[in-house]
Amino acid sequence: MRKLIVGDGVRTPEGVIGNAVLVDGARIVACGDAADLRAAPVPEERYPGATIIAGLRDAHLHPVSYTALLSGINLKDARDLDELTVRLRSAPGSGPVLALRFDDETLAEQRLPTRIDLDEAVPDRPVLIHRSCGHIAVANTAALALAGVDVTTPDPEGGVVDRDTGGVPTGVLRETAIELVSTKLRAETPVTPDKVAGALRGLAGLGITSVGAMLGCGDGPWASLGDETTLLAEAARSLPIRVHAYVITDDPGHLDEVAARLTGRGAHLRWAGVKRFSDGSLGGHTAAMCEPFTDRPDTSGTDRLTSADAAIVRHTLERGGTACVHAIGDCAVGGVLDLFAALIADGHDPTRMRIEHASVMTERDIARLGELGIIACIQPAFLGSEVGWLEKRVGPERMARTYPFASLLRSGARLAGGSDCPIEPPHPLAGMALARDRTGLVPDEALTPEEALALFTTGAAAALGEPLPLAQGSPADLVVLDRDPVAATADELRTTEVVDTYVGGDAVAVDRTIPAWV
């Protein structure tokens, strides 16, 4: 059935293209002036004073760990180890205690907790807490014992078990070392398919119509949450928004099995590709840098890219998927660009290659990314949480090429916006604001209002393999806002309200009692 959705304007990154969208079923017929599109007896949905934009996309989000955060223990704003202890002691039940988003940079003690700290908090239950970046976790003595991690345990490839002077694990686990413990624990309160669907319904309230879902297979740092691909497959028919699934695996056979499991389960779920890691995080000093960290001259991070990553990326491209490779440090970014350049030379499509984050880059690699034609999925929200310590990590020289958004656009790079939620809040409007004002960090790299809107609409849609938003024949995924996001200031964007979200021509019934963020 046809309907006409009318506001004060229809805004795209290229400009205002009228004030109405004509929809037929799940597809867009046309955008333009209501007077030209109006035809009796087509019903109208009217939004006086509002602006209609394309549905907002988050091209990089972890839906299962995000769901766990909504109902679990969030340590993000704990001010010191005492407050962290209080929160851990409040964990219900008698099984393992799992918590997310602690941040040593904001703790009064200015250090990572250890197993001793966690033992004092919860002495009789296994405890595993994840740093806000997701690349460091800390286990207590009970969790280490349950996993068999002791003085004899070797560091796994791509990871480090921190140890005291006697070689005894301190409880701090970096990168792949987290799996030594996470794979041996299961959450006391499991994430269910219904909870995942509810969490995504909350995202629709933020104007999000599609996400690029990074999904583990029962391993990795959040293995304690179970097989995330199975959860999404079981939730498929109740998903309120579109979910493009990127599977975290290095096994081609397993990738094929999971892709088959995710296919045909529901109109809003599809297998999209693979996700791999070439390094860690700036916050955890595990990003692979060409030179040592300014505040930790003893380390240049962790280079995780292997021949297995190259093999699974090639396999993904050959079966029609998109390859997403995490790269934050400048050394990691260069290594991923080398891999992608070789694949492009072999005839593979660069628009199905994504570099996730691209946080610190060399001048040459900024230019090279544009030349290659691949997609960079960037997270402006990182600037908001890293403002207090970012320059301390990278130093003034590298700071000028950290989160180089404007330089990337000038190089011709294709950019897409994401949040990496639950690492950062999944608010795309706040992400646009940060892309514009950068909290004052390197203002020359700020995006214009139009460029920031494109990040989370046309740019993210292209990264997810979706048609051009608001085009004739494209899915009728759109958002009604209480103001024009381009005319609004960055601060006004942060308080802009989503009036309605349409997916496939239907307004999503958003349950406002489900928090979109905690």
Express each pLDDT in 232-285 by its tens digit: 999 999 999 999 999 999 999 999 999 999 999 999 999 999 999 999 999 999
202 with 323, same domain?
A: yes
Q: Give the DSSP H/E element, type plus range, for residue 231.
A: helix 228-235
Number of neighbouring beta carbons within 10 Å of residue 61: 25
Average pLDDT for residues 199-215, to the nearest whole number? Answer: 97
Provide the residue type at 490 as one letter: A
Query: Which has more pLDDT, 250 or 39?
Result: 250
117 with 254, same domain?
A: no
Find the CATH number of the domain harbouring 152: 3.10.310.70
265 with 296, same domain?
A: yes
228 with 311, same domain?
A: yes
pLDDT of 510 above 80: no
Average pLDDT for residues 120-126, to the nearest whole number? Answer: 93
404 contacts 373 by C-beta, under 8 angstroms: no
428 with 296, same domain?
A: yes
pLDDT band at 154 (very low <50, low <70, confident <90, very high): very high
Give the C-alpha separation, 61 to 78, whole Å.
24
pLDDT of 213 above 60: yes
Query: Which has more pLDDT, 110 or 517?
Result: 110
pLDDT band at 330 (very low <50, low <70, confident <90, very high): very high
Domain hosting 498: range is 57-63+189-503
| Average pLDDT value over all residues in the chain | 95
Query: Which has more pLDDT, 40 or 143?
Result: 143
Average pLDDT for residues 132-156, to the nearest whole number? Answer: 95
Number of neighbouring beta carbons within 10 Å of residue 206: 21
pLDDT band at 516 (very low <50, low <70, confident <90, very high): low
114 with 255, same domain?
A: no
362 with 391, same domain?
A: yes
Cβ neighbors of 409 (< 8 A, separation 6 or more) are 415, 447, 451
pLDDT of 345 above 80: yes
Please choose, from the candidates 25, 10, 22, 27, the residue with its C-alpha nearest in 3D space to the C-alpha of residue 477: 27
Task: Phi first, then psi: give them for residue 386, nearest 5 degrees.
Answer: -105, 0
User: What's residue 503's pLDDT?
Assistant: 98
477 contacts 161 by C-beta, under 8 angstroms: no
DSSP 8-state class, residue 255: H
123 with 249, same domain?
A: no
pLDDT band at 513 (very low <50, low <70, confident <90, very high): low
pLDDT of 515 above 70: no
103 with 207, same domain?
A: no
459 with 324, same domain?
A: yes
Three-state DSSP state, 44: strand
Residue 50 in domain: no
pLDDT of 1 above 90: no
160-177 per-position pLDDT tens digit? 999 999 999 999 999 999
CA atoms within 13 A on the CB side of 383: 27
Average pLDDT for residues 428-432, to the nearest whole number? Answer: 97
Find the CATH number of the domain harbouring 302: 3.20.20.140
Number of neighbouring beta carbons within 10 Å of residue 18: 20
pLDDT band at 517 (very low <50, low <70, confident <90, very high): low
352-399 per-position pLDDT tens digit? 999 999 999 999 999 999 999 999 999 999 999 999 999 999 999 999
Give the C-alpha separation, 477 to 26, whole Å.
8
Residue 15 in domain: no
Average pLDDT for residues 99-126, to the nearest whole number? Answer: 94
User: What's residue 514's pLDDT?
Assistant: 62
pLDDT of 518 above 80: no
